[in-house]
Amino acid sequence: MATASVSFKSREDHRKQLELEEARKAGLAPAEVDEDGNEINPHIPQYMSSAPWYLNAEKPSLKHQRKWKSDPNYTKAWYDRGARLFQANKYRKGACENCGAMTHNKKACMDRPRNVGAKYTNMNIAPDEKVESFELDYDGKRDRWNGYDTSTYTRVIQDYEAREEARKKFLKEQQLKKLEEKDGEQDGENVGSEEDEEDGLKIDEAKVDESAQMDFAKVEKRVRTTGGGSTGTVRNLRIREDTAKYLLNLDVNSAYYDPKTRSMREDPLPDADPNDKFYVGDNQNRLSGQALEFKQLNVHAWEAFDKGQDFHMQAAPSQAELLYKSFKIKKEKLKSESKDKIMEKYGNAASDEPIPRELLLGQSEKEIEYDRTGRIIKGQDVALPKSKYEEDVLINNHTTVWGSWWKDHQWGYKCCKQTIKNSYCTGLAGIEAAEASADLMRENMARKEAAEEEPVRQEEKKLATWGTDIPQDLVLDQKLLEESLKKRQRGRRKRWTKERESTM
């Protein structure tokens, strides 16, 4: 429809417009005319004939499909590279102070900066550049090959042909060396012909072609970095016939897929059979293989740096990896030594050696006969297990061992009831002396408790106070009396000297 931008006031007007369009397509009604009086083909699709809303087209028109800029000044011409104009013999006023050209100044000069500019030397004046000013049309601005000289491609072909000739020459020399070696080994025999040489050359060329085809999946990619970027090699190992990872599960709430990095961390099909899945998420690769080893290496470098070792993973990666390997070797060695010591001391229950029946059931089939007195008639007595500590060792004339007696939370000897370990045994006399000392201690404690309960009776001293009658039997202490009199006399002298000084 050519009148998509025209608004209709009612459904009836819209219906009439549709009928008119159908009649025009069938040739029963004349074609619609645009602003310039040109007929509009009724068979033009609506998406081509409808004008954009921002053009505010009130009448049907096809101007939006024509070129807007038909300016004849637009051209596809290109700059004349390396063109030179007039070259002066001496410096001209207003020219570049560095090279002497009139088409630019010193700041915009692209020549090598001279020690002494052309303004002062008047020598080697550079020619003026050809300045062109033209505007390109829409296609000219977007043409990647605009200004390309096709004659320069001949140099590319020449380089390729020269490289191919050098390769063939090298292969021919290698083949001749092989033939010479065979001639030295097999004297008098006819070796190789030109056809054999060609076959060998073809084999070598096939090898070269195979080596060139090995990088069929090699893609050169520009990697953005803070330093400006570097070219790296990215290999895409996914077979194109396999289903893409983002198509395995079309549920919106399933594993997130990042289209920029083409990564999917989680498993898109967590409930599926693991044997039927060929992709389980990128986390599986990040937590296994060399990625996990690299992570452990980083953690070891951080921990070692915190403990005082002066090395850095990014600054010296080879040193960090070497130290990590030596650390793992020492750790495994220490672990095996401790394991061997434990197994040597306690044994290994997981070993293939059978456990002795005596230890397993606590009994044996050995037969022992005793007589009425308890002596062994037949067999051998069962040896009791010995402890690593010394047993039944009697010291210092003791008849019992240390720890055979207990009293008041203390261990001692039963023979003399002493609680000092390395003491000398005193026998019954020591027991009697200990009991006597204990009885004496009880009596003293009882006497002390009784004395504390009785109040202390002190003689009442007869003291005389001011305003009371002095008793007749009062006895004065002569020393205290003399000291008090002397103090009184000293005080009087001090007061007298102060009064005398004040009056003078």
- Of 274, 291, 309, the last residue of a domain is 309
Chain mean position to CA 288: 15
Does some domain include residue 95? no
Does some domain include residue 504? no
Does some domain include residue 328? yes
Token duo for residue 255: 């594993």
CA separation, residue 445 to residues 434, 448, 449, 450 (Å): 16, 5, 6, 9
- Which residue has tokens 């207990």? 406
Does some domain include residue 417? yes
* pLDDT higher at 19 or 71: 19
pLDDT in tens, 19-56: 777 877 776 777 778 777 788 888 888 788 778 888 78
Is 388 exposed, middle or buried (CB count within 10 Å of its CB: 0-12, 13-18, 19+)? exposed
- Of 309, 329, 364, the last residue of a domain is 309
* pLDDT higher at 12 or 272: 272
> Percent helix, strand, coil in the chain (nearest 5)?
40, 5, 55
- My answer on whether 304 and 231 are in the same domain is yes
**Is residue 479 scored above 90 in pLDDT?**
no
pLDDT in tens, 379-425: 877 777 777 777 788 888 888 888 888 888 889 888 888 888 888 88
- My answer on whether 263 and 232 are in the same domain is yes
- My answer on whether 298 and 341 are in the same domain is no
Average pLDDT, the chain: 78
Q: What angle do CA 404, 406, 411 make, to 5 degrees?
A: 75
Find the DSSP H helices in 214-288: 282-286
User: How large is the average pLDDT for residues 258-280?
Assistant: 87
Q: How confident is the model at residue 7 (pLDDT cuts 50, 70, 90)?
A: very low
Measured distance CA(363)–CA(352) in Å, rounded:
22
- My answer on whether 43 and 17 are in the same domain is yes
- My answer on whether 16 and 36 are in the same domain is yes
- My answer on whether 371 and 314 are in the same domain is yes
- My answer on whether 328 and 282 are in the same domain is no
Tell me if residue 195 falls in helix, strand or coil: helix
- My answer on whether 283 and 316 are in the same domain is no
- My answer on whether 367 and 427 are in the same domain is no
Domain residues for 414?
A: 405-450
- Of 288, 309, 330, the last residue of a domain is 309
Instruction: Identify the pLDDT of residue 187.
Output: 59
- Which residue has tokens 């009791």? 384
Does some domain include residue 266? yes
Q: pLDDT over 70 for what percent of the chain?
A: 78
Q: Which helix (H) or strand (E) holds 220?
A: strand 218-223
Instruction: Identify the pLDDT of residue 6.
Output: 44
* pLDDT higher at 326 or 193: 326
Instruction: Identify the pLDDT of residue 92.
Output: 93
Does some domain include residue 165? no
User: How large is the average pLDDT for residues 473-494?
Assistant: 81
- My answer on whether 317 and 284 are in the same domain is no
Does some domain include residue 409? yes
Which amino acid, one-letter code, is at 352? Answer: D
Number of structural domains (the chain) is 4
- My answer on whether 429 and 372 are in the same domain is no
Q: pLDDT over 90 for what percent of the chain?
A: 17
| CB-based contacts of 237, cutoff 8 Å, min separation 6 | 217
What is the rounded radius of gyration, in angstroms, for the C-alpha atoms of the chain? 59
| CB-based contacts of 376, cutoff 8 Å, min separation 6 | 368, 369, 370
Does some domain include residue 35? yes
